[in-house]
Chain A
Amino acid sequence: MAHFKKKQAGSKQEIPTSAMPDVVFMLLFFFMVTTVLREVTLKVKLDLTQASNIEKIEQKRLVSYIYMGPERLPGNQIGEDKVQIDDAIVEDLGAIRNLMYDKLIEEPRLIVSLRVDQNSEFGLLTDVQKELQQAGTFRINYSTKREAD
């Protein structure tokens, strides 16, 4: 009869860790690429409304944001409804036309995401939309939160 030798549990079984830095670096690059560090400082108060029939914007690179809401004043005060594009408040609504047109030239498939405070009035939105029509940026998106069912 053949004698089977019991395999001894190896006392020195080690997982090779030499590839660990490579793995970690790969993860690192992934997160470095996906991270968006620069966030716009909001100068208006934003409290998004909710809706249930919404869609995701997949291509984030195409999106340009317009913020609308009551202006934040020093000392926790809240002012009138204002429009903010990038980092500045746009006082003259007529300037939106040129601003958005320039962005459209840079990115022809531009999607304008309108982030509007839920209590701001519709009137301001129409004025902005009229400017967007003049600029030729027709694809818009009313940014909302998902409604909890």
Chain B
Amino acid sequence: MLKKKKREGAEINGSSMADIAFLLLIFFLVTTTINVDTGIGMVLPPPLDPEQEPPPIRERNLMKILVNSQGLVLMDEEPVPITDVRDKLIEFISNPENNEELAISPDAAIVSLKTQRETPYSIYIDMLDEVMGAYKDLRDAASRSNYGVSYDALADDSPQQEQIKDMYPKKISIAEPDS
């Protein structure tokens, strides 16, 4: 008579599970790239209705910046070295001495940036960077005097940040190049 073998509860050996998990972990560790995308954020205007007239803008509130393909800059018909652009912009936007030629108030100021079709992208970005830098400096200064901290330190979408944003709204217009 054959004796029936008694079966014991079959178990899978789990000791190598940690090794397998480690191997996978190392694979994903190596392949992961936690790269943050950085750049200059902009909001495009809606497309222009050809029949609708553009809204009137007072001349003194508009700063026209022209950049040619060599990287030479004209600000309101005046040649300016690129290193002075930021300071000139800050003066134009804040207008501390209430100059008749400069913007009435910071929130009315509009910066218009115009380049040629042949202008290299890097020059265009350099200019835009200067404009963004001017606004950043102004917002920083306002935030420091009002709240004692830098603008970056304010919490996102907090009322304080919104207030600073309203004081110095970024009104940047990218004009289409002629021909």
What is the interface of chain A, defined by CB distance below 8 A to chain B?
A: 17, 20-21, 24-25, 27-28, 31-32, 34-37, 49, 51-57, 60, 63, 111, 113-114, 116-123, 125-126, 129-130, 132-134, 136-146
A142-B28 contact in complex given A24-B22, A53-B133, C-beta closer than 8 Å: no
A52-B36 contact in complex given A21-B18, A35-B28, A122-B177, C-beta closer than 8 Å: no
Q: Are the CB atoms of A129 and B44 closer together than 8 Å? A: yes
Question: Is B12 interfacial (CB 8 A cutoff)?
Answer: no
Q: List 11 A-B contacts (CB under 8 A).
A: A28-B21, A49-B122, A51-B128, A53-B136, A54-B38, A57-B41, A118-B120, A122-B117, A126-B177, A133-B46, A138-B43
Q: Are the CB atoms of A21 and B37 closer together than 8 Å? A: no
Task: Determine the main DSSP class of B at the interface with A.
Answer: mixed
A113 to B154, CA, bound (A): 25
Count A/B pairs, Cβ under 8 Å: 145
Nearest-CB distance from B145 to chain A (Å)? 20
Q: Are the CB atoms of A116 and B39 closer together than 8 Å? A: no
Q: Are the CB atoms of A141 and B22 closer together than 8 Å? A: no
Chain A contacts of B132 at CB under 8 A? 51, 53
Q: Are the CB atoms of A51 and B21 closer together than 8 Å? A: no
Chain A contacts of B116 at CB under 8 A? 122
Interface flags, B109-125, vs A, CB<8A=1, else 0: 00000011111111011
Chain B contacts of A25 at CB under 8 A? 21
Nearest-CB distance from A114 to chain B (Å)? 8
Q: Are the CB atoms of A20 and B44 closer together than 8 Å? A: no
Additional 10 contacts, C-beta under 8 A, given A31-B28, A118-B120: A36-B33, A49-B126, A51-B132, A52-B133, A55-B38, A57-B36, A120-B120, A129-B174, A137-B44, A141-B40
Q: Are the CB atoms of B31 and A35 closer together than 8 Å? A: yes
A119 to B14, CA, bound (A): 57
